[in-house]
Amino acid sequence: MAKNKFNKNWVHDHINDPYVKLAQKEGYRARAAYKLKEIDEAEKLVRPGQVIVDLGCTPGSWSQYLRNKLAGKEGGGINGTIIGLDILPMEPIADVHFIQGDFREQAVLEQLEALVGERQVDLVLSDMAPNLSGVAIADAARVEEIIELAIDFAKAHMKPSGALLVKCFNGTGYNEILAKFRQEFKVVSSKKPKASRDKSSEIFLLGKILKNPA
């Protein structure tokens, strides 16, 4: 009974959520687009000509936002390169290169490196989150593992002056993740955009300028 009530409450909140309504109106696949939009508008992360990698991109609202931001090239297309990666499939988005697979696997990494070519990545975004079990310690370890993978990826492929934005959760393990960011980046800040639900412990960490690029 309690579960049904919870589901009904969630559906009610979701249907009446202003960001859900805005996403439907503006053609975004998910309300998550507005989290990135708010952070980008404050931090000026996305600029023309950049190479941007969107880890965990499905269903694609972050890639849609990036595409809209880089659009406007004469003759159509975008001024920049967007590469999305996810284990799950994603409906195509114009001008976005999508690779389906696990970027921990060599074959997937090679596809990504082929798209990047000789260039270095300017911005790495990760909206990835593991399937949570509800066991705080186990979930914290999974979140930490995903974020460490994103950091390792950034160190290997990002230009030293670049930026990494990851999703994490303010709870068990958060201080360890924050410490890791401070170890790897010269400028670190945490972001809780208005589009993140109040009840959610979701928080985003932004690291700028690598201390020890690979």
SS3 content of the chain, % helix, strand, coil (to 5): 40, 25, 35
Residues 6+ apart with CB under 8 A from 43: 163, 206
Confidence of residue 3 (pLDDT cuts 50, 70, 90): low
* pLDDT, mean of residues 27-40: 94
- CATH number of the CATH domain containing 104: 3.40.50.150
Domain, as residue range, for 176: 33-210
Is 127 annotated for ligand binding? Answer: yes
Q: Is residue 160 part of a domain?
A: yes
Q: Is 10 annotated as a binding residue?
A: no
Told to judge if 5 belongs to the known catalytic residues of this protein, a careful annotator would answer: no
Q: What is the pLDDT of residue 113?
A: 87
Catalytic residue among 35, 37, 69, 167: 167
Is there a domain that residue 184 lies in? yes
Is 60 part of any known ligand binding site? yes
The sheet carrying 158-169 orders its strands as 96-100, 81-86, 51-55, 121-126, 158-169, 202-210, 185-191
Q: What is the pTM of this model?
A: 0.90
